[in-house]
Amino acid sequence: MSEFEVSDIDVDFEDEIIDEFDIAPARLTIDLGALADNWREMAKRSGKARTAAVVKADAYGLGLEDCGVAFYEAGARDFFVAVVQEGMTLRNYAPDARIYVLSGIWPGQEKLFFENDLVPVLVSEEQLAFWMSVTAEFGEHPCALHIDTGFNRLGIPLEDAIAFADDVSRPASFSPVLVLSHLHSGDTPSSELNRRQLESFQRVAAAFEGVPASLAASSGTFLGAEYHFDLTRPGIAVYGGEAVGGVKNPMRPVAKAEARIIQIRDARKGETVSYGGTTTLSRDSRLAIVSAGYADGYLRSLSGSGVPLRGAVPEGAFGFIAGHRVPVVGRVTMDLTIFDVTDVPASKIQAGDYVELFGPNMPLDEVARAGGTIGYELLTSLGLRYERRYIYPDD
């Protein structure tokens, strides 16, 4: 039996206060001050149009409640969610805001919309007919109309919507407070399809004269005043992501994801790393194994080798620690990722330190591109294991 006995350890937990964030395997910092500043910047760029806040998908993975409050306190009074349950949650934090539900309404949800004062965005002729029957029975309630101007996703067909606008037989209880559409190529300013959709939506806005209109999400807001109409709907931009390709991102970073180093190990030249042995070390190396993987939304496609994407995009993702960019080595696994920290001075790094997966030093969209995707997916793929810390504007 070893001379070292468990009883030799003197441990007293009674008075110890531990901050879970400081010891978490993976952690996420959300700067609500930056979030609010980004919303104000988009409001400024929206000119005379009102500016909404899009908080669907749990506010792009960053927390509907906290982000909703930050937007509301910054001045947002129009919000967009994807489903009715998100709207019900948000209503607790934005008491007098107008909350639009982008997926519309289904039979059986009427009570939820009326009791929580939610605005369904009617996305099809079937939903339109159903809503008219609801208001005929229960009385007037605001709605919005989504018109398809070329996306071929959701929306009432353009010509049908214009005909409906001129239909004198539509019931008086039907009272849309917004008509909207969505650009499919707004992130590519040079695309001629943007102009085509704009011209189609101008016809819609004219047909529904007197009803506020909305076409621009984040990318559309950057296209200029013609696209703003009465209300803009920024999403990814307010969360710090790129809205337009090929230009410098003017928004402040909002989220920083980090993973803790479990072990730093030495490996020799010629040895292989991670599943499949797809990386063979070209030098003696120091490897940091961190506690985050694809179960935490750090996608397998970010791997340094051994995934199909590396045939098209040769370089995998990088992390950041102690002033150095450090590459992912081998395959990202479910709970662990390996970074090459050979070039980081040994005195500057140790087990227990944190590698930044994305954040101020590793831009969200740069990491996303290494995984063959976009910042939207990285944010909305964040798993449940991140310990979260919110930085409030007054902190």
Catalytic entry in 93, 275, 298, 392: 275
Residue 245: predicted pLDDT:
86
pLDDT for residue 199 is more than 70: yes
Say yes or no to pLDDT of 274 above 90. yes
Query: Domain extents for the chain?
Result: 46-239, 255-391
Domain 255-391 sits in CATH at: 2.40.37.10
Is 93 among the residues known to form the active site? no
The catalytic residue among 44, 48, 56, 354 is: 56
Residue 183, token pair as written in the block: 């650009």
With cut-offs at 50, 70 and 90, classify the pLDDT of residue 1.
Answer: very low
Give pLDDT tens digits for 98-125: 999 999 999 999 999 999 999 999 999 9
Closest by Cα among 299, 334, 294, 333 to 313 = 299
Of the pLDDT bands very low, low, confident and very high (cuts 50, 70, 90), residue 10 is low
The per-residue pLDDT for range 306-316, each reduced to its tens digit, is 999 999 999 99
Query: pLDDT averaged over the chain?
Result: 94
Binding-site residue ranges: 153, 334
Does 3.60.110.10 match the CATH number of domain 46-239? Answer: no
* pLDDT at residue 391 in the model: 97
* pLDDT tier for residue 222 given thresholds of 50, 70 and 90: very high
Rounded Cα–Cα distance for residues 22 and 19 (Å): 6
282 pLDDT more than 80: yes
A 10 A CB-CB count for 24 gives 19
- List the binding residues for substrate: 153, 334
Nearest to 131 by CA among 187, 166, 171, 162: 171
Active site residue 298: no
Q: What is the dihedral of CA 270, 271, 274, 280, to 10 degrees?
A: 0
- pLDDT band at residue 7 using 50, 70 and 90 as cut-offs: low
Query: How far is it, in rounded angstroms, from Cα 308 to Cα 329?
Result: 15
* Burial degree of 53 (CB within 10 A; 0-12, 13-18, 19+): buried
Return the higher-pLDDT residue of 138 and 54: 54
155-179 pLDDT tens trace: 999 999 999 998 877 777 777 999 9
Query: Among 53-57, 135-139, 227-231, whose mean pLDDT is lowest?
Result: 135-139
| CA atoms in the 13 A half-sphere facing the CB of 91 | 17
pLDDT at residue 190 is higher than 60 = yes
pLDDT-derived band at 11, boundaries 50, 70, 90: low
Q: Is 300 exposed, middle or buried (0-12, 13-18, 19+ CB in 10 A)?
A: middle
Quick one: what percent of the chain has pLDDT higher than 70? 96
Measure the CA–CA gap between 364 and 142, rounded to whole angstroms: 37
